[in-house]
Structure 1
């Protein structure tokens, strides 16, 4: 649990605290509360959603060629540690492994961004990755 909290703080420091805007690199900057709302479904406050979403967003920005706080290898290592931590709780991804737990968890619990939110982020890679995650790990809810 200590690792998850540290990863959460890391994710929030990556993207900063300010009114929603894009900086000179084209990277979205928002306050912590706005990130929580951005990644969580209405009425929920799941601490892991902003962590996972921010990791996916930073990785996407890097792939888009933006200079970020971390390298792609560092992001992959953080995701690996995050997945190992979630795996220790017994969670598995859709194929029974632990490599994609963060994606499976995000698709099942967190919010899929709207087109307006994709436009705010301004990253074609982020939109592509989020759409892939929600399509790959589609959860069918029973009424």
Structure 2
């Protein structure tokens, strides 16, 4: 579990950065606090949103052709391990399996990025993946 969380944090956390920026590769960097806001719905702080969102983002950047600290295989293996860990708690994905639990969990608990955030990320693959995740796993908002 610690390895998976660190993967997400190391990939996209740059403590001490005052404002979000994209490096020469076009990869977004923000402070950990900003990432927590980016992935969580207003007023919540769900720790799992950060590593799930970060793994999806890193996978997307790699698919966009950006050089990242991990290979596509490494990120996909981390996602697989994360899903296995979530599966051990009894969670299942929309098809009753364990290979997309992270998507199901993210759509149910975490925040769908805004268009402004998609523009900040600068990854067409990330937008496409997030749109697909939230379309596949639709949940009614409880406004009580």
Structure 1 spans left out of the alignment, 5+ residues: none
Please give the alpha-carbon distance, in whole angstroms, between the structure 2 residues aligned to 1:142 and 1:42. 14
Kept in 1: contact 2:13–2:35 (CA 8 A):
no
Structure 2, gaps ≥5 residues long? none
Confirm or deny that 1:81 pairs with 2:81: yes
1:35 to partner: Cα distance: 0.4
Instruction: State how far apart, in whole Å, the 2-side matches of 1:13 and 1:142 are.
Output: 33
Helix, strand or coil at the partner of 2:36: helix
1:117 & 1:111 partners in 2: Cα distance? 11
Q: Which residue does 1:140 correspond to in 2? A: 140
In the TM superposition, what whole-angstrom CA distance separates every residue of 1:64-112 from its partner, at most 9, and x where no partner exists? 0000000100011000000000000000001110000000000000000
TM-score (norm 1): 0.94
User: Contact 1:61–1:125 at 8 Å: present in 2 too?
Assistant: yes
- Which position in structure 1 is the counterpart of 2:52? 52
Higher deviation after alignment, 16-25 or 83-92: 16-25
How many angstroms apart in 2 are the aligned matches of 1:102 and 1:63? 19
1:41 partner SS: coil
RMSD (CA atoms): 1.1
Relative to the length of structure 2, the TM-score reads 0.94
Question: For 2:94, what is the secondary structure of its paired residue?
Answer: coil
Q: How many residues align?
A: 140
Instruction: Give the equivalent residue in structure 1 for 2:63.
Output: 63
Counterpart in the other structure of 2:128:
128
Within-5 A mapping of 1:7-46: 7-17=4-14, 18=17, 19-46=19-46
